Amino acid sequence: MSSHSFKDYLLLHFIVMIWGFTAILGLLISLPSLELVFYRTLIATFGVLVVMLVRKKSISVPLPELLKIAGVGVLISLHWIFFFWSARVSTASVCLAGMATTSLWTAFVEPMVNRTKVKWYEVALGLLVISGLLVIFQFESGYWLGLAMALVSAFLGALFSVLNGRLTMRHTPYQITLFEMGAACLFALLFMPIYAKFLTEGNPIQWAWKDLDWLWLLLLGGVCTVYAFSVSVDLMKRLPVFSINLTINLEPVYGILLAVLIFGEKEKMTPQFYLGTLIILVSVLIYPILNYWNKRRKSLPTIN
């Protein structure tokens, strides 16, 4: 492995650690989940716009395509709302354990969207994930709501990732991110009246920032969204997709370790929780390996 590749892999792991840090930032910020998503996407929208203007990237997208991108942006907004809400009603570790199922949700969502066959090992690994979730539910019943929200967030994350895969064939990643962040921000804003009436128990929308919220929001919108995205796009030009996907699956591991280091006793769970999480992570890490093996096997010439 060349020194250049080694640096790229180190940078990739750093980006994945940044993504694992988002649940922790969600707990550090005093804002409720919807207000948090609104500010995150607002900062990210302006951040990506500045990057595009500096790099002189085209912003123009046909209206029909713009509406499709905006629709995915709504899914992203809901994905983040459930993500941060999950961490609030449980812990960052519980949230990240549920989010670890994203790649396996993708294994089932992708065949439905692209009309391809579900592979046998995807079903087997899906059953393994369910067994891990049952272990967590059995011994951490007090966190069932947070874990359920994380599973919904993971499913939405898988859905918008698959849809984004189709959009990237027609538009630049910067165009997609700009309009998705803008649509996610607009959806969060328009959803606020319904949210305030039915989901806040009469509490008003919390617009004001407190203490270090401004710093955490800038990190969340600027570093965790704009910077991490820009670097990940650049790394895709130099690293194999297989290696990138395998490394991204380590996000929950980094996130849970960081949560325990930062929050201490509050994040420490029962041994059974970590057993269930380990079962999920093993299935998640095995999936790209089996997928790679299956593609290699199919690519080999058949001997009559």
The model's pLDDT over 137-158, given as tens digits with 9 standing for 90+, comes to 776 667 888 889 999 998 998 8
Tell me if 303 sits within 8 A of 134, measured CB to CB.
Answer: no
CA distances from residue 7 to 3, 19, 224, 235 in whole angstroms, order as listed: 6, 19, 20, 11
pLDDT of residue 304: 47
89-115: average pLDDT:
81
The residue extents of the domains of the chain are: 3-297
Q: Which residue has the higher pLDDT, 241 or 181?
A: 181
Sign of the CA dihedral with 70 first, then 241, 110, and 250 last:
negative
pLDDT tens-digit series, residues 11-43? 888 998 898 888 888 889 999 889 999 999 999
Angle, alpha carbons 216-273-244 (nearest 5°): 55
Residue 197 has pLDDT above 90, yes or no: no
Which of 188-197, 255-264, 281-290 is modeled with the greatest confidence? 188-197
Query: What's the full length of the chain, in residues?
Result: 304
Query: In angstroms, rounded to a whole number, what is the distance separating the alpha carbons of residues 103 and 9?
Result: 20
91-109: average pLDDT = 81
Which comes out higher in pLDDT, residue 131 or 292?
131
Which SS3 state, helix, strand or coil, does residue 59 take?
coil
| CA gyration radius, the chain | 20
What whole-number distance in Å separates Cα of residue 187 and Cα of residue 74? 6
Cβ–Cβ under 8 Å, residues 222 and 43 = yes
pLDDT value of residue 241: 58
CA neighbor of 158 nearest in space, from 287, 65, 282: 287
104 confidence band (pLDDT: 50, 70, 90): confident
Q: What is the DSSP string of 261-279?
A: HHHGGGG---HHHHHHHHH
pLDDT score for 152 = 93
Q: Is the pLDDT of residue 243 over 70?
A: no
pLDDT higher than threshold 60 for residue 302: no
Vertex 50 angle, CA 44 and 54, to 5°: 145
Is the pLDDT assigned to residue 58 strictly greater than 60? yes
Alpha helix stretches (DSSP H) within 168-270: 173-198, 213-218, 228-235, 241-248, 251-263
SS3 call for 54: helix
Environment class of 265 (CB within 10 Å of its CB; exposed 0-12, middle 13-18, buried 19+): exposed
